[in-house]
Amino acid sequence: MNRIEAHLLATDLKFAVISTRWNHLIVDRLVEGAELAFVQHGGKTEHLDHYLVPGAYEVPLIARKLAESGQYDAVVCLGAVIKGDTDHYDFVAG
């Protein structure tokens, strides 16, 4: 079997990470993992901007603004939507 593996390099790239304040016990670990992966692939922490938004509903709004700004090579969106007693999950997931 031939194994083809990409060599992912973040050298000289600028990334934006958007995360939610909601469910921060989960999301904060995701942000830490994203930063670690970025650095492990050659990225510099000064080329990684972190945007914190109230909840999952706001993530795509900020992601669009950042993507359209042309300042970033990639925009990473992180959040956790957990189904609970409210309709919030249905609004966000729908």
Predicted pLDDT at 88: 67
Q: How many Å apart are CA 86 and CA 82, to the nearest integer? A: 10
Predicted pLDDT at 90: 73
* Domains within the chain, CATH numbers bracketed: 15-93 (3.40.50.960)
3-class SS at 91? helix
Q: pLDDT tens digits, residue range 14-69?
A: 999 999 998 899 999 999 999 999 999 999 999 999 999 998 889 999 999 999 99
Q: Is 41 assigned a catalytic role?
A: no
Q: Which of 7, 47, 50, 88 is catalytic?
A: 88
Q: Which residues contact 42 (CB under 8 A, 6 or more apart)?
A: 9, 10, 11
Phi, psi at 86, each rounded to 5°: -105, 175
- Concatenated DSSP letters of 11-75: TT--EEEEEESTTHHHHHHHHHHHHHHHHHTT--GGGEEEEEESSTTTHHHHHHHHHHHT--SEE
